[in-house]
Structure 1
Amino acid sequence: MIAREVEFEGHLIDSNIFPRVLDLILDLDGEFEILEFRIGKRKEDKSYARMIVFGRDEEHLNEIMKELHKLGARIPDAEDVELAEAPEDRVLPDGFYVTTNNPTLVRINGEWVEVEDIGMDRVIVVDVERKRAFCRFLNEVKKGDKIVIGEKGVKVIPPERPRKSSTFEFMGGHISTERPTPYVIKAIAREIVNLKRNGGKIAVVAGPAVDHTAARDALAGMIRDGYVDVLLSGNALAVHDIEISIFGTSLGMDIKTGRPVPGGNRHHIHTISKVIAAGGIRQAVEKGIVKDGIMYECVRNNVPFVLAGSIRDDGPLPEVITDTMEAKKAMKQALKGVSMVIMLASMLHSIAVGNLLPSTVKTICVDANPSTVTKLVDRGSHQAIGIVTDVGLFLPELYESIKEVEKEG
């Protein structure tokens, strides 16, 4: 067997990091010997562990080390990060390092430098002269870029349980249909208000189900009152929101009676045509064609929105980005600096946005289907809090709770 010494530092016990380390080694048929373990005595104290990890051969040990690295393992007396040039645009050198969505540092000329724009399933490009490191998608890699290879000189900081009690702490992060929803909603409302008072930025990811329920007015109100800083969605949300404003129907159904109206099946196509004729959503609002709703409030309150297209879209509306790579780039840019993301009844958009977020962003996913939240977490967004409920019930209650918290001061 061959061995390698590693160390861990942080809140290893109460954040359940060290038990996961030991389980991982055993699950991968490795062995370990703990050399040193110092447990922090006070809340603010960090724990430290030093151990030897054994593998059958070099390949087996490297497999174990790759997984331990994601939990914050580092080699004592670390060397500088190892780099290799990209041979062509969008072509990576052998052994390239793949990022997690956790904060990551690389060692350049003896100094630890934080990787900018960190996100999962990307590579790290290093500018040695400026001592900067950037997280990049594969399609952003250019010939000659210096790419990090291997784990040497790379430090990952896994998420830890907050040192101070917060309104989010009791929710834990797992998915359950049995949480007391009113209490959860009040806690989220407090978090939103506190975050905005401290200059935080909130993004909302919304699916068309928001239009088909009472949630539309609540989301429009949150935008109007300054609780939404960016909206991420697709063609359908915008089309049906504007259809309601023009015709009072959503998918041809009267939103007040829930009954189909004569000729209602053509309303969404008529809506798209009207907006295109006006020159776009903003122009349709300015010309008085669109008089209320989600997109109206975005335009009136200068809240940016990114609408990503799909092959299912009718139209689409002029603002919809039909190139998926361009849409991803626009979403990534819009998410810069966000402190919280609220995902509402949109599985595909929620997972797409989740893949763009660092683990430090508070993420709330609301859906009537538990599997939507499960899929989001399974695809790497482990920080996501799942609330299994109808968005038509959740959002109006959240908006009312926000107003109540504001009155409380």
Structure 2
Amino acid sequence: MTVARTVELEGHIIDSGTMGACFGAVMDMGGEFEVEEFEVGRHKHAETYCRMRVMADTEEELRAILHELNQQGATVADPRDATLEAAPNDGVVPVDFYSTTNHPTAVRVDGEWHDVEDVEMDCALVVEREDGVHVYTKVLNAIEEGDLVVTGETGIRVDPPERPRNGGSGSFGFMQGGVSSERPSASLIEEIADEMRQVNAEDGSVLAVCGPAIVHAGGRDALADIVRAGYVDAISAGNGFAVHDLERDLYGTSLGVDTESLEHPRKGHKHHIYTISEIARLGGIEAAVEEGVVDEGVMYECVQNDVPYVLAGSIRDDGPLPDTITDSIEAQNAIREQAQEADLVLMLSTLLHSVAVGNCLPSTTKTVCVDINPATVTQLLDRGSAQAIGMVTDIGAFIPMLADELLEESYEK
């Protein structure tokens, strides 16, 4: 005896590959499907509609298939309200809780669809009925006993970004991400600069996710200029980036190496820890700037121009700096707040922080990931940030070129 449910797909489902992905998912997971209705859009702006019946041997197998189809944007026909179950304990969700994607999502409560607030992947969906119905994501460690958590697949609608027939909008067209070291870097950098100008003109927010390689490779001064010019609205980084940026100012070195001559000064290997000690003695980065001890660089420009920054610590950190958040949950929450406010994210040569920020971003946030190592870009895309544009190139060349475009003047490192 088989069990079955009917699902619907609508949109540019042929061009974006959504329909084929759904057909494949059903067969790969041991189910069967029967297309009951199929209407193809007949011009480039028209959408395609597909209604299909999905069958499986057991309820458990069918539920797994429906979950996969839901992630692809399929919606159960004739939807019922979402199933809500109270969390049994703090930090504990019901067994069959719905695990979110990073795509725009709506939940049906009391007969009406409600958009999910602060969309984020790998979270639970919580429904509140105070002052109207509100549905929002919550990380598992933030779940409180009694929270109404969405379970199962019923009453949930996911809307993955699609690639329309007209090809989208330039390099930032959705579902056109990918990784290439052969793209015309100059033209792509020009498009990124144009996008940053537009975000700036609309009072949006550009978040720069920064790795220490920016300092090592010679991109620090250019990034500082971009921050000073007002094109970066927030910085997300680790202890290492800030320390190397400050070390460059205090000692002219990065990890003990003179970034101009590439020589190793005497006791240069100690500059890293000396920097941490000096900043701690002064009471932090802002105090060091106010005292005039730090007078250039990215962190200096952040303080001088009121650009907020989050330094998330790790188990490997030396020191760390007083400004570094050492509690991992607190650091995640700080990164999450930055990500939710961002309209454009530049991920600059840092694998761990790029993935961390990417986990917090909705798929509608335009994202650029730049790294000399293609594995960094591919891992970000594989982790779920399908909207990201990947550039495999030297960060020390990319940032000065970006500064040239944004500042409209020749930039010399």
If the TM-score is normalised by the length of the shorter chain, which range does it land in? over 0.9
Structure 1 residue 350: deviation in Å?
Answer: 0.6
> CA offsets per residue over residues 251-273 of structure 1, 9 Å max, x none?
11112100000111111211111
Counterpart residue number, 1:136: 138
Counterpart residue number, 2:334: 330
Paired letter, 1:140: A
1:367 & 1:226 partners in 2: Cα distance?
Answer: 23
Counterpart residue number, 1:233: 237
Check the 8 A contact 1:118/1:358 in 2, yes or no: yes
Structure 1-normalised TM-score? 0.96
User: SS of the counterpart of 1:210?
Assistant: helix
1:286 & 1:394 partners in 2: Cα distance?
Answer: 31
Check the 8 A contact 1:171/1:385 in 2, yes or no: no
Counterpart residue number, 2:107: 106
Residue 292 (structure 1) aligned to one of 296, 302, 320: 296
User: SS of the counterpart of 1:336?
Assistant: helix
Instruction: Report percent identity of matched pairs.
Output: 49
2:287 & 2:44 partners in 1: Cα distance?
Answer: 55
1:306 lines up with 2:310 in the alignment: yes
User: SS of the counterpart of 1:106?
Assistant: strand
Check the 8 A contact 1:202/1:340 in 2, yes or no: yes
Pairing of 1:6-405 with structure 2 (within 5 A):
6-129=7-130, 130-161=132-163, 164-169=168-173, 172-404=176-408
Q: How many residues align?
A: 405
User: SS of the counterpart of 2:390?
Assistant: strand
1:331 & 1:170 partners in 2: Cα distance?
Answer: 24
User: SS of the counterpart of 2:38?
Assistant: strand
Check the 8 A contact 2:227/2:298 in 1, yes or no: yes
Structure 1 residue 297: deviation in Å?
Answer: 0.3
User: SS of the counterpart of 2:93?
Assistant: coil
1:222 & 1:285 partners in 2: Cα distance?
Answer: 19
1:199 & 1:260 partners in 2: Cα distance?
Answer: 44
Structure 2-normalised TM-score? 0.95
What is the CA RMSD across the aligned residues, in angstroms?
1.6
Paired letter, 2:83: E
User: SS of the counterpart of 1:355?
Assistant: helix
1:15 & 1:401 partners in 2: Cα distance?
Answer: 32
Paired letter, 1:138: L
Paired letter, 1:240: H
1:254 & 1:177 partners in 2: Cα distance?
Answer: 29
* Closer, same or farther: CA 193–229 of 1 in aligned 2, 3 Å: same
* Closer, same or farther: CA 371–53 of 1 in aligned 2, 3 Å: same
User: SS of the counterpart of 2:386?
Assistant: coil
Structure 1 residue 167: deviation in Å?
Answer: 4.1
Paired letter, 1:313: D
1:282 & 1:70 partners in 2: Cα distance?
Answer: 44
Unaligned runs of 5+ in 2: none
* Closer, same or farther: CA 169–156 of 1 in aligned 2, 3 Å: closer
User: SS of the counterpart of 1:35?
Assistant: strand
